[in-house]
A and B are shown apart, each in its own frame.
Chain A
Amino acid sequence: MTTTAVRPRVAPQVVRGATRRGTRRVRGAILTLIAPFVLLFLFVYVTPIVYSVVQSFFSLQTSSLGFGEPSTVFVGLDNYTKAIESGAFWSALGRIFAFGFVQVPVMLGIALGLALLLDSAAARWVSLYRILYFLPYAIPGVIAAVLWAYLYSPTLSPFVALGDSLGADVDFLGPRVVLWSMANITTWAFTGYNMLIMLSALQAIPREQFEAARIDGASEWRIARVIKTPQIRPALVLTGINSIIGTIQLFNEPQVMRVISDAVNSEYVPTMLAMGAAFVKNDFGYAAAVSVLLALVAGVLSVLYYTLAMRRSQ
């Protein structure tokens, strides 16, 4: 196992307070505290990354009619070329980009708006609203998706029934709409959670700043915009990164919607694509290559977002 390699690296060099005699004991203590996590972390995070990088250079091959025992052969970058040249990969990626560019700002915008309202002097029953908004987060994502799927289903949906009675043809599942129907599920589920993070940050701002601004005649709106929002930038960065990560691994919603919508195919998002490659096409090399590419995309996006968000704050 690769895990043994780490031991020398964590050989502790104790600074604070310990005498030389105690050094070895402290070293042992540190090791005891971090080793269980670190070993498992390497096992669960690092091993699969290494393994999938290796796997991505191999492919299953048979010959003749295909019924002989398949063998695994080295194919170099073939799996990567296949992914990059495949329309399905780019469509899947395109969908999560479209989703991310629209859903994330909308959700965070609503969350910020609600947080500022709840933090404003005009709000009443703050704790009640706070709980109500947070409630959807208690519902596991896949179950939320199932519930919304029923609320979208043409045969069951009360909204479709309502539309029918008003003479409007409501369709949540069409090719142009379904991605946004999914975005609604995500927004419903996570707005409250993000709102709570922002609200917590808002409430940590010293109140005196607002008083001073009010005395200077600033409006509540201006206080919210100029004083409050910039100060909770860390919270905005955190919720932004969380949402980007969530978007990249979007799975529950399309997987559930596929059962009822023709507009969702088996390779709708990258996670479904990788899963299908592995467990339908038996093409683990391709699945690994797709996962590696996505991890790279995810890494680049997070770093980019973080740098941008932090640079603007300086």
Chain B
Amino acid sequence: MKTARTAAAALAATAMVTALGACGTDSGGGSSDPAGGPVEISYTGWVPSAEEVVDVWNEANPDVQVRYSPVANGQEAYPKIRSSVQAGDGGCLAQLTLDQVSSFVADGMLLDVSEYVGDAEDLFLDWTWAQVSPGGATYAIPQDTGPMAMYYRADLFDQFGIDVPTTWDEFATAAETVHAADPSKTLTYLATDDASTIAAYAWQRGAQWFEIDGEAWQVGIDDDASVEAAEYWQGLLDSGAIATTKRWDPGFYAELNQGTYLAMIGGAWNTALIEENVAETSGSWRVAPMPTVDGSDATANSGGSAVAVLKGCENPEAAVEFATWLNSSDESLAVLTAPDGGGLYPAVKDAPEVAAADQELEFFGGQDIAEVFDASAQNVNTDWAWGPTYSTTDTGLTDGLASVATGGSTLPDMLAGLQETTVAAMQDRGIAVAD
């Protein structure tokens, strides 16, 4: 009796320690079955309806089974992805916005899959392929882009008696008109939690934040075009003609529903979001081209994603095969691009044909909105690149926008600061930066 108890106690103690030891040697998430069963590929992302597409694939490919886990959004997902890759347990595929691919590569988080991509390159827009191939090797398969347009409330435009502005000058005038008529409403907003929009406004004006100059990076976050864009928006903020908001706070949709903002300028992927969240205003929305700088057709791109292959993926070939199918096959894109499905504007070269399918939407009063996005996609400056520490810059940009919103800084000052911290972050890493 006595010895049994003692033994039990000792056993419990050793078991605990042994269990820990055993765990230590187990590498954690192995993903393939060495016994020759089906290959399993994990895939995380936040595209609505991706689950549906994964099911289609799994049905048709019993040998390569994809396990999809949805995440909330990039901001929440990236630290998780980084931490699990670091731990050697990252799984295989993860959605990354295009701006993050370079940083993930530079941090050694992604796998060079150039040898597996075959001629997939031919399927996708050249500039998206360039963005998933920083330094020449390919690490991801492009998924979608975010050609920008202006979503607006036709009923409220009528009510305030404003025409659809086609240039930024007209836009500013319209903004003043709305603000003067009703201070509680504004023509649009500046989202402090969406760094991609302010980058896009600079992009549209021909800014070049990151450029490879021989063997070094040229950083131009405060170049002339960027400062022009910053001054324009700072002017609108200063006059009170537009407001700042938190675009990813769900309260934003309450504001949209109430008509607090008459228009939102954003990438094509917003379609599905507003349809889902402001259904009560269905029918009164329209889409117009994004305002341009006088005398230019240039538009911009906001967001867009790729499906990246993570370091540690044990079946990169199958993973690339799935990712390519996911992002380019007709059966997948039929779901991913449907406005009531994924709502994406695909990164494939024949996007206009795919995305145009069946887009005369009740929500937009029967307008064929795809036309607008197709035209926008044609006019995106395709030389844009993202730098190898952009994840740091992106966080700095979001913090900077928040500081602008609280009056702690101005947009031009913020960009100047960001230029400095970005160059410092790159040099810290030993990355060559040209003066």
Contacts and interface: CB of A to CB of B under 8 A. Distances in A.
Interface of A: 32, 35-36, 39-40, 43, 59-70, 82, 153-156, 174-175, 259-260, 262-267, 275-276, 278-282
A63 B392 contact: no
B82 interface: yes
13 contacts: A61-B430, A62-B388, A65-B388, A65-B432, A67-B388, A82-B428, A153-B251, A155-B254, A260-B251, A262-B401, A275-B79, A278-B83, A279-B79
Nearest to B83: A279
B56 interface: no
Chain A contact surface mostly? loop
B390 to A, nearest CB: 11
Contacts of A281: 389, 391-392, 395, 425
B107 A70 contact: yes
Contacts of A263: 402, 406
Interface string B317-331: 000000000000000
B435 interface: no
B236 interface: no
Contacts of B353: none
A278 B108 CA distance: 14
B391 A36 contact: no
A64 B432 contact: yes
A266 B395 contact: yes
A276 B251 CA distance: 26
Nearest to A279: B79
Contacts of A36: 12-13, 16-17
B212 A39 contact: no
A262 B249 CA distance: 11
Contacts of A262: 192, 244, 246, 401-403, 405-406
Contacts of B254: 155
A266 B399 contact: yes
B113 to A, nearest CB: 14
A97 to B, nearest CB: 20
Given A61-B430, A66-B217, 5 more contacts: A60-B429, A64-B431, A66-B431, A175-B406, A281-B392
Contacts of B6: 32
B244 A65 contact: no
Interface string B47-60: 00000000000000
A65 B402 contact: no
Nearest to B133: A67
B406 A64 contact: no
Nearest to A281: B392
Contact of A63 (B20, B428, B430): B430
Q: A32, A156, A267: which has the most chain B beta carbons within 10 Å?
A: A32
B202 to A, nearest CB: 21
Q: Which 8 A-B pairs have the closest CB atoms?
A: A67-B135, A66-B388, A279-B79, A155-B251, A265-B399, A262-B402, A66-B431, A262-B405
B105 interface: yes
Interface residues of B, number: 56
Interface of B: 6, 9-10, 12-13, 16-17, 20, 78-79, 82-83, 102-103, 105-109, 134-135, 137, 192, 212, 215-217, 244, 246, 248-249, 251, 254-255, 387-389, 391-392, 395, 398-399, 401-403, 405-408, 425-426, 428-432
A200 to B, nearest CB: 33
Given A63-B432, A64-B215, A155-B254, A260 B403 contact: no
Contacts of B105: 67
Nearest to B82: A279
A282 B109 CA distance: 10
Q: Which of A36, A39, A59, A174 has the most CB of B within 10 A?
A: A36
A156 B251 contact: yes
Contacts of B403: 262, 265
Contacts of A280: 78-79, 82, 391-392, 395
A63 B430 CA distance: 5
Contact of B408 (A35, A40, A155, A175): A175
Contact of B215 (A65, A279, A282): A65
A156 B254 CA distance: 10
A6 to B, nearest CB: 13
Given A260-B249, A265-B402, A32 B391 contact: no
Contacts of B212: 65
A61 B408 CA distance: 33
A262 B401 CA distance: 8
Contacts of A266: 395, 398-399
Contacts of B248: 259
A289 B192 CA distance: 30
A18 to B, nearest CB: 16
A43 B16 CA distance: 13
A17 B428 CA distance: 64
A155 B109 CA distance: 39
Contacts of B246: 259-260, 262
A35 B212 CA distance: 58
Contacts of B399: 265-267
B267 to A, nearest CB: 21
A276 B388 contact: no
Given A36-B16, A262-B406, A65 B251 contact: no
Contacts of A43: 20
B148 to A, nearest CB: 23
A281 B398 CA distance: 14
Contact of A282 (B17, B102, B107, B255): B107
Contact of A32 (B9, B78, B103, B406): B9
A153 B252 CA distance: 11
A260 B252 CA distance: 10
Nearest to B136: A67
A280 B77 CA distance: 11
Interface centre among A59, A68, A281 (most CB of B within 10 A): A281
Contacts of A67: 102, 105-106, 134-135, 137, 388
A282 B183 CA distance: 44
A67 B109 CA distance: 11
Contact of A39 (B12, B17, B103, B134): B17
A280 B109 CA distance: 12
Residue of A43, A59, A61, A62 most packed against chain B (CB within 10 A): A62
A228 B389 CA distance: 59
A250 B9 CA distance: 38
Nearest to A286: B428
Nearest to A176: B406
